[in-house]
Each structure stands twice: as structure tokens, then as C-alpha cells.
Amino acid sequence: MNERTRKRLKALLALEPVERREMFERLSESQRRPLRHSWQLFAHDGQLAPEGDWLIWLILAGRGFGKTRAGAEWVRALAESDPQVRIALVGASLGEARAVMVEGESGLLAIAPRGKRPKYEPSKRQLQWPNGARATLYSAGEPESLRGPQHSHAWCDEIAKWDGAGGKALSAWDNLLLGLRLGERPQVVATTTPRAVPLLTRLIDHPEAEQTRGRTIDNGANLPPRFIRAMKREFGRTALGRQELYGELLDDIEGALWTRALLEHCRDAAGPGTPIRTVIGVDPPASAAGDACGIVVCALYEDGLVRVLADCSIERPSPESWARRVAQAAQSWEAERVVAEANQGGDMVAAVLRAADVALPLKLVHARHGKTARAEPVAALYEVGRVRHLGTFPKLEDQLCGLMAGGAYQGPGRSPDRADALVWAVTELVLGRRGVPRVRAT
């Protein structure tokens, strides 16, 4: 960058963001070209590293905030300024680290100026910059791979998605920190959308962590207006919207049967082979203009655990549409039984399902107790590790976290239809007529 370009950059940085963008667009192509990779010109405040002697920079923000770009630009600045840096790039898996952190639209290869682009060697899981700086990819799902290697810096992406089963996420983080032995000022950037997992809770309270909180809208200048409108319309201030768009770390409700930490602890990546039995729990709506129809697929496996496979619930459906959805789910998951609540008219529920060609055995169940009372034995199964979630089911999990022990429902919506469908399915698979959890001796 020559002296004239430096002066132009300094003048642009002195302007407010809107004026800066307008002034940049007025420059000729030859004037803009050497400035295109000057990150300070285009970053919003939340994407620039905080000042001070911090160990951890935690970027906790909604989707579309620009977390990945911020992490990649921080790594690029380090690598281009110091040939001695050795950087760990840690993703939830090696595939995600490569696809997002290295090869993604905001990844290290895409943002690098042509003459300073690092060479990526997939077989070595390594990037090397022209000046000699290096970065190595790691999977948080393999904590032992971080035991031994030494680094001066690290970028950890979507840490709330790291596999927490068996303490893997915490082990990966601890092994990473123990390996930050190079250089005089080791630092870690952790970028994530918030979820109440043990690792994130620990980092929020870390005495040497600087936090950046942000919302999707904070990066509105770089997002399609239609996307922003659609997300606000779809999610608004729902629990999912508060987490995914506004970057809030949702608190648990005191006295709830399920907590978010419990649900994270009960998450699985995959089930062990073919299930023994698969059923679909259905909580039909009282009317077409009323609540959603809860449709949840659960299966029992040979290890004695129930796994939640899918949430196929449908909002404000007609009887025909929710029945078709049940039929489709039954076919897709090869279910052997449909368990449907019949309090709103058992004959009607049966007739609607038969009309939609649901040929499976249909069991109509009648609720003799309130929703929370029925849910308590199922919540106990979660607590002893008998139920797992294959994936993430945000709307279902929000409802579970709103079911109160001995109290009224305090979750999103008027009724926990999805949660009720899950309760019927798990009860059918495990609890049987007794309705109480039975813990096997190990």
C-alpha cells in the first residue's frame, strides 16, 4: 500500500460508517482496488477485536452477524503480520472446519488478497501463508488430537455446537488451552450463536474473556432486506428468534421439568443401528384455526434408550393436512404405530387419520391428567439418560423447557402440542401401563 492509498484509507476511517460506504463507492475502480481487503473499512464495530490484554474474545451473536468473517479476518491479520504464528482452527468437525473456516464464503481462502492467499493442504489439515505463518485444522469431536500440538493462537467456531457428550467439548477446549504455549501473548477467538451448554457457560464467566454480543440486524448493511423481514416475521421475539437472531443466551425457567443444559446433555449424533420399534406421537388440534398439531417421531433401540428422531409438527393445520403429515412421517420413518390423543373426539381423530391412508395400528389415548403431570415421568427418563435427541429440535425443546413441575405451562404458544406428542410417544415406548420410569440396574 503506497502513501497515497494510506492517506485515503485514513480519511475514510475518520468518517461515519454510512458516509464511509458512500465515499468508497464514489472512488474510481483503480482507487478502490487496493482498499478492498482493508477490513477496517467494512467491518461493523462488533467485528473488530477489543483492545486490551485479553486471553479469550467471545463473539456471542445471532446468525448473519458476521461472526465467521470476524474470526477469519482476525486470523488473516495475525498470519500476514507475523510469520511465526501457529494457529489452531477448531470446528465442531473437520468437515465443518474446512467448509466454513477455510473454504466458506467468509473463510480464509475467500477473504485473502491474491498475493497473500495461504496454500491449503487438505491431507495435512494445514494452511501456510507465503511468509511462513501456519494454521492447522482440528475437530472438537476428537479432543485427543489437541493434546500435544502447540500453538500461539486459535480460532474456535460455533463452540455451542461442539459435541458435549461425555465432556468432549470441555476436553477439547482444555487441551487447546494447555497447548497455547508459543509466543508471548496467546489468544483465542471463539465465535458462536448462543446455546446453554457447559462450555459456553464457563467462557461467559471467564475472568480473562472479552465478550462481544450482537444481533443479526447489526450486520443489516450486508444482508438482503428480504431475509431480515422474513426472519422477523417467522421468528420475531419467540425463544428461537431471541437466540438465533438476537443472540440471547436463554435462561431456564425456575421449576421447569426440562432445562436447556439437560437437553444438551441428552443429545446424540446418531443412533446405534436400526431401531427395535418406532412410533409417532400425535397431539391433534382442537380446531383448524387453533393450535399446532404436535407430531413427533420416537424410536426404541437395542441399548434400551429412546431417541427422538423428528419433529414433524404443523402449524394451524386443517384436519386433512395434519393427517397427511402423520401419514408421510409414518412412511418416511417406517413407524409401526401412531399414538394419538383422543380427548378432542376419538372417532373424529380416527376417521381423519384413516382418510389420509394411515394404515398403521392406531392407539387412541385419553388424557386423565394435565399435560405437566403426564410429562413428569418422561422428564425423569431424560434425567437418568434414557431418552436422547438425534439432532436439535428448537420449537419442541422450547416447549419442553416451558413445562413446569406441578404448575401451568410457561413456554411459547398457548399449548405445548409438540411436547405433548413427544410425551405420548415416549410413554408408549417405555413406560407402558405403569406410567412411571423404570431404571435398569447396570
Query: Does the domain at residues 43-242 carry the CATH identifier 3.30.70.330?
Result: no
Strands 86-91 vs 119-121: parallel, antiparallel or unpaired: unpaired
Q: Which range has highest mean pLDDT (81-95, 234-248, 403-417)?
A: 81-95
Confidence (pTM): 0.68
Domain residue extents for the chain: 43-242, 260-431
Tell me, what's the pLDDT at 1?
66
Task: Choose among 39, 92, 36, 35: nearest CA to 66.
Answer: 39
Measured CA to CA, the distance from residue 194 to residue 216 in angstroms comes to 13
Residue type at 354 in one-letter notation: R
pLDDT digit string, tens, across residues 141-157: 999 999 999 999 999 99
- Rounded to 5 degrees, φ, ψ at 428 are -60, -40
The neighbouring-strand residues paired with 189 are: 57, 155
Tell me, what's the pLDDT at 343?
65
Which top CATH class is 260-431?
alpha beta
pLDDT digit string, tens, across residues 68-99: 999 999 999 999 999 999 999 999 999 999 99
Measured CA to CA, the distance from residue 7 to residue 379 in angstroms comes to 63
pLDDT digit string, tens, across residues 298-328: 999 999 999 999 999 998 888 888 888 998 8
